[in-house]
């Protein structure tokens, strides 16, 4: 066994290509702001960016978004927002309905990186 990360060990068996056992064969990438440019305020075109940011800050949109990413339903999150901030009821429902509007294209360089990884035989997931 060898220590590759302090406190962790990895076997010294060769990988499928005969090199060391630490060959990367799969890469998992986050989508928002890693693979794809994500501008969530675009799902609410009736709000200015400043107004959107104020609502997002008040309801803690980043936390709600992380919970949705972890699998919590938008319906339950929207119910929570409606109960706590009735003036913002519908905010998450509108975001979910217009999510495609929040994706504005790839992060520069990522299509090429994903192509290079796949060409090298590395699996990619997001």
Give the pLDDT confidence of 91-112 residue by residue, as tens digits: 999 999 999 999 999 999 999 9
Name the 3-class secondary structure at 5.
strand
Residue 34 lies in a domain: no
Residue 17 lies in a domain: no
Residue 15 lies in a domain: no
Residue 6 lies in a domain: no
Which domain, by its residues, includes 94? 49-104
Q: Structurally, how many domains does the chain consist of?
A: 1
State percent of the chain over pLDDT 70: 83
Higher pLDDT, 15 or 67: 67
Residue 68 lies in a domain: yes
Helix residue spans in the chain (DSSP H): 49-59, 61-69, 74-84, 91-97, 99-102, 110-119
Residue 41 lies in a domain: no
Q: How many CB atoms lie within 10 A of CB 72?
A: 13
Residue 94 lies in a domain: yes
Whether residue 21 is predicted with pLDDT greater than 80 in this model: the reply is no
Residue 32 lies in a domain: no
């Amino acid at each position: 066994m060898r220590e590759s990360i302090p406190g962790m060990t990895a076997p010294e068996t060769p990988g499928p290509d005969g090199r060391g056992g630490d060959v990367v064969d799969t890469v998992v990438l986050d989508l928002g702001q890693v693979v794809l440019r994500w501008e969530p305020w675009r799902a609410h075109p009736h709000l200015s960016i400043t107004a959107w940011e104020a609502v997002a800050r008040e309801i803690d949109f980043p936390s709600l978004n992380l919970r949705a990413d972890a699998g919590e339903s938008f319906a339950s999150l929207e119910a929570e927002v409606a109960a706590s901030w009735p003036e913002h009821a519908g905010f998450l429902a509108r975001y979910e309905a217009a999510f495609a509007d929040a994706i504005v294209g790839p992060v520069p360089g990522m299509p090429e990186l994903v192509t290079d990884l796949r060409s090298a035989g590395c699996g990619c997931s997001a």
